[in-house]
Amino acid sequence: MSDTKPTDSNQSSELAGKSRMTDDTLLETHTRTFAKAEGNGEGNLSIPIIATAVFTLLFVFGGIYHSRYSADYDPMVFNPEGAPASLGPAAEGGGIEVKLDGEKLYKRNCVACHQADGQGLPGAFPPLVGSAWVRGEPDRMVAIMLNGLSGSIEVAGNTYNSIMTPFSALLDDDEIAAIATYVRSNPDWGNNADRVSTEKVTELRSAHERGNAWKAEEILELFPLDQ
């Protein structure tokens, strides 16, 4: 049954020609051994005993390693050995107090009109410094921040006429609370009112949901200025 194909190299022609299998023989042997293996469950199924031991070890290792370091498939755990700490207690849904930087938020959202020093622009945008609208109960200020205000408004004896856009869709409750707190309690501006809590903003948001901006009169009716 020798293969009469050309030999592969000159020096090994004898060896090579002697005992090559043809494709037919290869396949026949294959079928024979396969049938044997399936027939009595032994035959060519022989795995060296050491290999069996190694396979078992592999699976034990895989199982232990996986259960130990898969961190419950949490997308925010990067150190499999450390605590799933990266997000802090909030990850468990606890109501921790988040420290928001009111000054930074003020600078991003408010300075275009009220200016960095809180003095506003004469005739257009009222000042926040020493303003009665800002002091006292926070409701007034937060309500304006949420829904905006249009038309004329009198602050510290001067009249301003412009539009303040609503921020309810742009900022979250805690951001509004942080900005209001910053403005109300800024000692540089002569303000020292209480801080505003996120819950207060949430409450006001649901209580005063409306599609249009406030008029100054409406606000004064709901939340009169302290005298």
CB 143, CB 204: distance < 8 Å: yes
Q: 139: helix, coil or strand?
A: helix
Stretch that binds another protein, among 53-61, 138-146, 150-158, 188-196 (CB under 8 A): 53-61
CB of 45 to another protein, least distance (A): 5
> In the range 146-175, which residues lie near another protein by CB under 8 A?
169-171
Q: How far is CA 221 from the centre of its chain?
A: 41
| Contacting residue, 62, 122, 123, 190, with another protein by CB under 8 A | 62
Exactly one of 48, 157, 187, 211 binds another protein (CB under 8 A); that residue is 48
Three-state SS sequence of 73-118: HCCCCCCCCCCCCCCCHHHHCCCCCCCCCHHHHHHHHCHHHHCCCC
- Comparing CB distances to another protein, the nearer of 74 and 217 is 74
CA dist., res. 71 & res. 65, Å (int): 11
**Cβ 199 to another protein, closest distance in Å?**
16
CB of 182 to another protein, least distance (A): 13
Cα dihedral sign, 94-97-101-106: positive
Q: Which of residues 66-95 bind another protein (CB under 8 A)?
A: 66, 69-80, 86-91, 93
Among 39, 59, 83, 211, binds another protein (CB under 8 A): 59
